[in-house]
Each structure stands twice: as C-alpha cells, then as structure tokens.
Amino acid sequence: MRPTRLTPLLRLLILTQLAFNIGFFAVLPFLAEHLGQSVGMAGWLVGLVLGLRTFSQQGLFVAGGALADRYGIRPVVLTGCALRIAGFVWLGYARQTWAVIGAVLLIGFAAALFSPAVESEAARQAVLHEQAGGGPRTRVLALFTVAGQAGAFTGPLLGALLLSVDFRAVCLTGAAVFAVVLAAHARLLPQHVPGREPVPLAGGVRPLLRNRRFLGLCCAYGAYLLAYNQLYLALPAEVERTTGSQAPLAWLFALSSLLVVTAQLPVTRLVGERLSPRRATAAGLLLVAAAFTVVALGRGGASPLPATGFVVLLTAGQMLIAPAARAWVPDLAEPGRLGLYTGALSSVSGLIVLVGSAATGALLGSGLPPAVPWLVLAAVPLSAVRLLPRRSAVGVG
C-alpha cells in the first residue's frame, strides 16, 4: 500500500520542531561568551547559569507533559511560546546576575511546556498515521528528527550573522521566531485534537514509577544521551590531542548535522522500518559502542580518522535510536498519559546524563592509559542493550 500524505496537524508539528530549534540555537551557542565577556560573569557563574537552564528545561519536562495531558496541547504550547518570547527579550536586555538567571530560567521553563506537548502529540499522530495505513510511525518521527536537526544546523548560522550587530539582536530575532510560531499555532492548532481526552493531573506518576518496561527504556535512552554528550566532553580532548587544535571540531559537528539531515530518512527506510523499535534501538546502541571502540583502538597515532569515525558511528546510532525511542513510548505509556511519559523520558534520561557526565569527567582526567576511558564509555551503551524492555503494551498513550 502506498503511504498516505501527512495530515495538516503532523505537518504543523514537524515544522514547529524546525522553528523551535532555529530560534533556540540562534541564541544558545553564543550565550556563554556573552555572559563571560559582555556581562562579566566569572567562569563558575557562567557554568551555574547554563546548568540552571538545563535543569529548568529537562528537569521539568515531566511536568510539561502532564499539563499537556490535562489541558491539551494548544494552551500549553501557546503559553510556552509566550514565555520563551518574554525570556529571550529579557535576556537581551539583562545585565545584572539576578536578571540573567531569571531570563534563563524562564527560557528553560518555556521549553518544558511546549516541547513535551509537541513531541507527545507528534508521536501519537504518527501512531494514528501508521494505523490508517500511512506507513511506519518511524518514518514520521524520522522527519521530526530531521526537522529538529536542520533547525539546530541553521540556527547558529543565523545567530553568527546577527552577532555582528550585537547579542541583543540575536535574542530579539530568537524571540521573533517564536512569535511567528505562536501566531501560527494560535491560528492553525485545533482547540481540541480528536482522540485526546483530558486526564487528571493526579494519579499518573505512581503507575509510571511501577512501569519497569518504560523505566528500562528511560535508562537505556539515558545511556545513549550520556554517550552522545561525549561530542562535547571527550571528543574535544581527543581532537586536541591528535591535531593540536580544536578548530576541526566545527567541521566534525557540521558533519554530524549534515549526516542526520541527508541520511536520516534513507536510514529509516532501509533499516528502521524493517526492525521493531527494540531491535532498532539495540542496533543503535551497538553502533554507539562501536564508535568509542574505534577511538580506543586508534589512539596510538596522531591521525584524525578515529575521531571522524567516532562522529560517523555515533551519528548513525543516533539515527536509529531517536525515531525508534519516540515510536516506542506510545506502546509503553498508560492511556491518556503520553505527554507525561514523553516528558519523563527526557527528565529521567537528563538526570542520568547529569550524574554520568560528572563521572565521565573524572574518568577522562583520571590518568589511566588513554584507551581505557574510551573502552569504559563503550561499555555503557553496550550494557544498556540489556535494559531494553522485551515486550510492550499496545496502545496510543
């Protein structure tokens, strides 16, 4: 059967993810330098501010998802966009520490509202699209991933261009992007999405904490995210060792984004649609483990090839894991609680990354033989395969 076209709501959600990342990544890459140089913050305070942003966003995803289940995605998304606009404008004018912290917390909390709402509805609509004969849900969620990565690639280019004016211009442009999203959703997002009935805020957390299959997926996904974050922790040190400079990092990051934008859909068609979510996630974790092994085995010389192989294999793993994990959550969620479970996946895995990153930093600076930290890191995604649930409930959260 020939796949049917995406519904208007699905197209809106996919374009929303693109716009979200353009607006966000136009600002975020330049925030640390702005805080250190223009605002004059000490290094530890810059790190604290960035950590608060992450906490206010990832840590509260579960709350935003629960609110989407209770009140529907329209009010939650519109409120989140309005708060993001206010946060970016505030950040553009903030010069005192308390003002910067307030703006950053508002920016993070805004995403904790709109992101789980959009992601959970995209996953639910992808399942309904699949059930209507429109093709595998992983294809839709791969499009969602590509849109996000394209935004993450385009946003910094836009921000770098505007930085020639000043950081305030960057923030105001980011706010303008979200203003366009807000206007589009106010006009196009239905007041009530068919099939999505409100559920009480209370009563959802306890079954979630007892859902061992879902928590297993959270832990495995957290192991993947911890490994993926080594693009920003372990990889820079390796590039510095082999090339004597961190300049090649920009090319490696661009390579990762380009691979996702150009190869995500073909990979999903060739592999993801032939494998169950569990097998696709397991295969992705094995590729991530192989990425670390390549560097461990190739650290004897000064060639940049192991680092390049690391980026390619890690990104290939990402292309299998990200759509498969999103496609899996609706089968593991309690009826009516897909927003809560989508948010919990990000919050729990984010907590794992927070704790694991500190341990990883200690490992990399431990003075062990150079290959050992990379082999230990390879064992993390390899071990996570055993955490994946072996069966799932059938439903549309």
Q: pLDDT of 13-46, one tens digit each?
A: 999 999 999 998 888 878 877 888 787 877 677 7
pLDDT for 364 beyond 70: yes
φ, ψ at 303 (rounded to 5°): -80, 140
**Choice among 33-42, 56-65, 223-232, 377-386 with the minimum mean pLDDT:** 33-42
**Choice among 59-68, 190-199, 322-331 with the minimum mean pLDDT:** 190-199
pLDDT for 283 beyond 50: yes
343 with 66: CB under 8 angstroms? yes
pLDDT at position 58: 77
Reported confidence tier of residue 78, pLDDT bands at 50, 70, 90: very high
Looking at residue 6, what DSSP letter applies?
Answer: P
Task: Give just the sign of the alpha carbon dihedral 287, 291, 296, 298.
Answer: positive
As a whole number of angstroms, the distance between CA 112 and CA 130 comes to 28
Using DSSP, state whether 337 is helix, strand or coil.
coil
For residue range 80-102, list pLDDT tens digits in order.
Answer: 999 999 999 999 998 888 898 89
pLDDT for 396 beyond 60: no
Q: Tally Cβ neighbours within 10 Å of residue 146.
A: 22
**Cα pseudo-dihedral 19, 24, 29, 31, rounded to 10:** 150
Residue 379 token pair: 């064992």
Arithmetic mean of pLDDT over the chain: 85
pLDDT at position 394: 44
pLDDT at position 32: 74
pLDDT for 1 beyond 50: no
Q: Nearest Cα to 203, choosing from 62, 345, 337?
A: 337
pLDDT at position 47: 67
As a whole number of angstroms, the distance between CA 96 and CA 108 comes to 19
pLDDT for 248 beyond 90: no
Reported confidence tier of residue 302, pLDDT bands at 50, 70, 90: low
Report the share of the chain in percent with pLDDT over 70: 94
For residue range 105-154, list pLDDT tens digits in order.
Answer: 999 899 989 999 998 999 889 888 888 888 888 888 888 988 988 888 88
